[in-house]
Amino acid sequence: MRRFVAKNSKYLHFITRSFSSSSLESSSGLFPQVTLETINPKVLTCEFAVRGAIVTHAMRLQEQLKQNPGSLPFDEILVCDMGNPQLLGQQPITFFQEVLALCGLPSILDEVKHKTSSVRGCTCCSIYTFVSSIICSADSIERARQILDQIPGRTTGGYSHTQGIKGLRETIAYGIETRDGFPSNANDIFLTDGASPGVHIMMQLLLRSELDGILCPIPHYPLYSASIALHGGTLVPYYLDEATKWGLEISEIKSQLEAARSKGVTVRALVLSEENQQQIVELCKKEGIVLLADEVYQENVYAPDKKFQSFKKIARSMGYQEKDISLVSFHAVSEGYYGECEKRGGYMEVTGFSADIAEQIYKVASINSCNSNITGQILTSLVMSPPKVGDESYEVYTAEKEGILSSLARRAQTLEDAFNSLEGVTCNKVEGAMYLFPRLHLPQKAIKAAEAEHIALDAFYARRLLEETGNVVIPGSGFGQVPGTWHIRCTILLQETKIPAIVKRISEFHKKFMDEFRD
């Protein structure tokens, strides 16, 4: 039991550290080999809020609820912290699920074929009908056959090419071509375990020391800041403008670029998602900066007047070719309307690098074993090549996809309205992605209370919200924000039936919070 307590204290300790910045107990007397003083300082300094203190705290409360029901002022943890739709009740897309299952079990495919012909006419319980009612529409079967034919040895258990299976990359390249109207080459595609491995590879490639910088939007998903810190570079921030729905002024990027250069920092790359695309492409070309396009939300667009346009499409439309601009696009199956987070699939498309640099990227990808598991590879090919009009699955597929997207849009609207109705809270519309980032204008007394506990105001708010209601949101400081402003990040992914409960909890909590701290 002593050991179990010791293990638990790890998490308690983590929380203590993050919430009260108390000095660390040194255990170096007991474990002499490795201490905080002797590990890589880059590891020590980097932060990753989305799996950080508040999430760990929530897990502990969840465990407490399980062990001692009734011991907390709420009976359920409602997680609005993570883009994890299927865990929150969303069902997988049928077509994707069918094809993946069939690919995992090629013998079913053969049996289906065999039995179909042998039992034709048996009406009492037609096997084909049975099997097809459980697992397969005709195009799922056909697609699974095609995919298995593309896999060397028709097995999902063999290592594939460092960049992933050629045939699947060809399907994806074709999907990109169809999307953009410009060529895409399977040799430029690396199938990755989500977007992270691709980001790490590019950081490893570009960052030589803290004198190399990466321009990152603030706020942004902290994978970038964490990866830059871990690989020893400098994050050069540029701020998105909350007043214009997180819009981007190109002048802000230019002035941050100049500021970085005046400090001796070489800006190697710029991270961004879809904003002011032509100006950005122009700037990157002119300044010799690699464009890292985070395009994981290409299928999560809710605003009716918005349509996804890839940076590659924009650059090519402007007449820029490979030689003009180095451009890496990231996509992941954890996002999108399907939300297949733990299948771990994705790709990066790497264009505009010379052959010798492409070779170095390939080498690092090999060393990192970056290529995703075969299920993730197959799923990535399905996402980029979904059922088409006329396919048996098309109707179900479209209904599922539109059902999810329209439900997400409704949830986003309800939560946005709820936040905007709160005293001192303003919240921009979600036009894509999966998150709201409402701003908290909190009273001085709350600021003082947070200071007294040595934690950021938004972390103080988020912790109170969690402890009093069981709602988990992430403090905005984990994503970056204009100094002196405070936000929380809230996903729109919890099941629609749970949204009223979230709204009620947040509204009641916020009123109580303001009553306690109002100046």
Residue 345 neighbours by CB distance under 10 Å: 28
Q: Is 449 in the site for its own copies (CB under 8 A)?
A: no
Stretch that binds its own copies, among 147-155, 297-305, 310-318, 405-413 (CB under 8 A): 147-155
Instruction: Count residues binding its own copies (CB under 8 A).
Output: 126
Q: Which is nearer to its own copies, 36 or 399 (CB)?
A: 36
For residues 85-124, which are near its own copies according to CB under 8 A? 85-89, 92, 97, 100-101, 104-105, 107-108, 111, 115, 119, 122, 124
Q: Interface mask (CB under 8 A) for its own copies, residues 303-332, using x and -?
A: -------------------xx-xx------
In the chain, DSSP finds a helix count (H) and a strand count (E) of 19, 14
Cα–Cα distance measured from residue 411 to residue 403, given in angstroms and rounded to the nearest whole number: 12
Stretch that binds its own copies, among 4-12, 248-256, 439-447, 498-506 (CB under 8 A): 4-12
For residues 373-402, which are near its own copies according to CB under 8 A? 373-376
* Crossing angle (nearest 10°) for helices 355-367 and 196-206: 120
84 neighbors 126 (Cβ within 8 angstroms): no
Q: Is 60 in the site for its own copies (CB under 8 A)?
A: no
Of 47, 63, 45, 51, the C-alpha closest to 7 is 63
Q: Which is nearer to its own copies, 351 or 428 (CB)?
A: 351
- Which residue has 């709420």 as its token pair? 74
For residues 274-293, which are near its own copies according to CB under 8 A? 288-290
* Crossing angle (nearest 10°) for helices 2-20 and 457-469: 130
Give the one residue of 20, 41, 420, 511 binding its own copies; rule: CB under 8 A: 41
Stretch that binds its own copies, among 31-39, 236-244, 303-311, 472-480 (CB under 8 A): 31-39
Cα–Cα distance measured from residue 194 to residue 345, given in angstroms and rounded to the nearest whole number: 5
CA angle 340, 346, 347 (to 5 degrees): 165
333 neighbors 376 (Cβ within 8 angstroms): yes
Shortest Å distance, C-beta 389 to its own copies:
26
Q: Which is nearer to its own copies, 268 or 510 (CB)?
A: 268
Shortest Å distance, C-beta 378 to its own copies:
11
Q: Is 264 in the site for its own copies (CB under 8 A)?
A: no
412 neighbors 499 (Cβ within 8 angstroms): no
Shortest Å distance, C-beta 469 to its own copies:
20
Distances 45 to 22, 231, 452 between C-alpha atoms, Å: 16, 11, 23
- Give, as one character, the DSSP assignment of residue 153: G
For residues 203-262, which are near its own copies according to CB under 8 A? 204-208, 223, 226-227, 230-231
Q: Is 407 in the site for its own copies (CB under 8 A)?
A: no
- Give, as one character, the DSSP assignment of residue 52: S
Stretch that binds its own copies, among 34-42, 213-221, 298-306, 391-399 (CB under 8 A): 34-42
| Distance, CA of 128 to chain centre | 39
Give the one residue of 334, 381, 469, 481 binding its own copies; rule: CB under 8 A: 334
Tell me phi and psi for residue 350, to 5 degrees. -110, 110
Give the one residue of 20, 22, 146, 158 binding its own copies; rule: CB under 8 A: 158
Q: Residue 503 corresponds to which tokens in the numbers above?
A: 């709204």
Q: Is 193 in the site for its own copies (CB under 8 A)?
A: yes
- Exposure letters 267-283 (e unless 16+ CB within 10 A, then b): bbbbbbbbeebeebbbb
Tell me phi and psi for residue 212, to 5 degrees. -100, 130
Q: Which is nearer to its own copies, 370 or 502 (CB)?
A: 370
Q: Which is nearer to its own copies, 115 or 464 (CB)?
A: 115
Shortest Å distance, C-beta 316 to its own copies:
13
Shortest Å distance, C-beta 429 to its own copies:
26
At 90 the three-state DSSP class reads coil
Shortest Å distance, C-beta 426 to its own copies:
30
C-alpha dihedral sign at 31, 36, 37, 42: positive
